[in-house]
């Protein structure tokens, strides 16, 4: 990741060049008008910005639809409180179309010990700028995050975890959080999300659903735990090989496809998406494709069927 080290001058600051002349940058016109107390001119400026804001919102929505996949979204909550939340990978694909710069980026490693043993996390923090707007963001990932940290319902020893994956995940989460904050992509109401996706024919119903605070019914057997671990490892192997999983034309099977040149997700994020894809299936009753789940949320026959599909694809690598 390249850190931008440009100066921290913001729109409410006056910048003077070496010859003593005042420089004009993004946002300085409005600041001057307000300080000079000209309400008529200020109103004209605000009306102009309001018109541009509408066009900007439409542009962001168009890019949002074209640059994200259904697996990039999760619906969290229920009823009026349901919100569409975007993954860091999806946010980064959107963000590359905007002049976003990162600066003063720093990272730290925090270590601790709990009842499960030693653990650590990487935390990235810094600022992101776009035009005259600046935000502060953080991103963290730890060995206590289940996708990398757990196997067979047990926390993995640190020596079994790739530290580079933990650090990379934290960095991408930081960037994703900054982009979502700058572009207003955080906590989109479900009805608004469905309107945006439906405007261009995308299937908003393909987003995963997460109900916070609801426990897993029936627990996970020891056999399920071993199968979850094997499934996650196969999905990571497929991602490391530069492949993704896609349904066949008849919708009954899956095939391997090379990842696209524009696919800048991390191997871990791609592995999660592969698992969600492989565990999805076509419902004849509902006449639609039922969304899949990550390995840690699968169990029983659904888990076994997904693992069988994953094993078939692994044999083709």
pLDDT digits (tens, 9 = 90+) for 141-174: 999 988 888 887 788 899 989 999 999 999 999 9
Task: With a cut of 90, say whether residue 121 has pLDDT above it.
Answer: yes
Domain boundary residue, one of 214, 230, 247: 214
- Domain final residue pick, 167, 182, 214: 214
Task: Say yes or no: 195 and 294 in one domain.
Answer: no
pTM of the predicted model as reported, rounded to 2 decimal places? 0.54
105 and 5 part of one domain: yes
Q: What is the mean pLDDT of the chain?
A: 78
273: pLDDT strictly greater than 70: yes
Cβ-based neighbour number of residue 316 at 10 Å: 9
Residue-wise pLDDT for 207-230, tens only, equals: 555 444 333 333 444 567 788 888
| Angle of helix 88-95 versus helix 267-278 axis, rounded to 10 | 120
Q: Which domain holds residue 299?
A: 218-314
pLDDT of 119 higher than 60: yes
Do 62 and 181 have their domain in common? yes
The CA distance from 74 to 302, in Å, is: 20
Question: How far is it, in rounded angstroms, from Cα 68 to Cα 96?
Answer: 12
Smallest Cα–Cα separation from 156: which of 169, 147, 165? Answer: 147
Helix (H) or strand (E) holding 218: none
In this model, does residue 175 exceed pLDDT 90? yes
Residue that is last in its domain, among 182, 214, 246? 214
Tell whether 182 and 284 lie within a shared domain: no
CB 204 within 8 A of CB 193: yes
Instruction: Give the span between the Cα atoms of 24 and 48, in whole angstroms.
Output: 18
Domain tally, the chain: 2
Mean pLDDT, rounded, for 80-93: 87
């Amino acid at each position: 990741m390249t850190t931008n080290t440009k100066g921290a001058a913001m729109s409410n600051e006056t910048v003077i060049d070496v010859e003593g002349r005042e420089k004009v940058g993004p946002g300085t016109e409005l600041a001057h008008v307000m300080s000079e107390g000209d309400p008529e001119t200020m109103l004209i400026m605000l009306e102009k910005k309001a018109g541009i804001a509408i066009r900007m919102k439409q542009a962001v929505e168009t890019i949002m639809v074209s640059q994200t996949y259904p697996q990039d979204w999760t619906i969290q909550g229920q009823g009026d409180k349901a919100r569409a939340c975007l993954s860091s990978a999806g946010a980064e694909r959107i963000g590359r179309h905007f002049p976003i710069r990162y600066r003063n980026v720093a990272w730290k490693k925090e270590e601790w010990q709990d009842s499960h043993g030693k653990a650590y996390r990487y935390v990235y923090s810094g600022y992101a700028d776009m035009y005259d707007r600046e935000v502060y963001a953080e991103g963290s990932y730890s060995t206590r995050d289940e996708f990398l940290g757990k196997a067979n319902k047990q926390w993995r020893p640190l020596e079994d975890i790739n530290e580079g994956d933990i650090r990379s995940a934290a960095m991408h989460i930081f960037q994703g959080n900054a982009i979502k904050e700058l572009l207003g992509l955080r906590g989109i109401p479900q009805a608004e999300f469905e309107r945006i996706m439906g405007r261009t024919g995308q299937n908003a119903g393909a987003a995963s659903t997460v109900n916070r605070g609801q426990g897993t019914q029936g627990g996970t057997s020891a056999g399920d735990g071993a199968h979850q671990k094997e499934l996650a490892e196969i999905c990571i192997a497929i991602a490391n090989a530069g492949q993704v999983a896609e349904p066949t034309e008849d919708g009954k099977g899956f095939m391997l496809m090379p990842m696209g040149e524009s696919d800048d997700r991390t191997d871990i994020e791609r592995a999660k998406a592969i698992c969600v894809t492989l565990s999805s299936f076509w419902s004849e009753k509902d006449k639609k494709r039922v969304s899949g789940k990550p390995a840690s949320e699968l169990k029983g026959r659904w888990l076994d069927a997904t693992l069988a599909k994953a094993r078939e694809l692994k044999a083709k690598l």
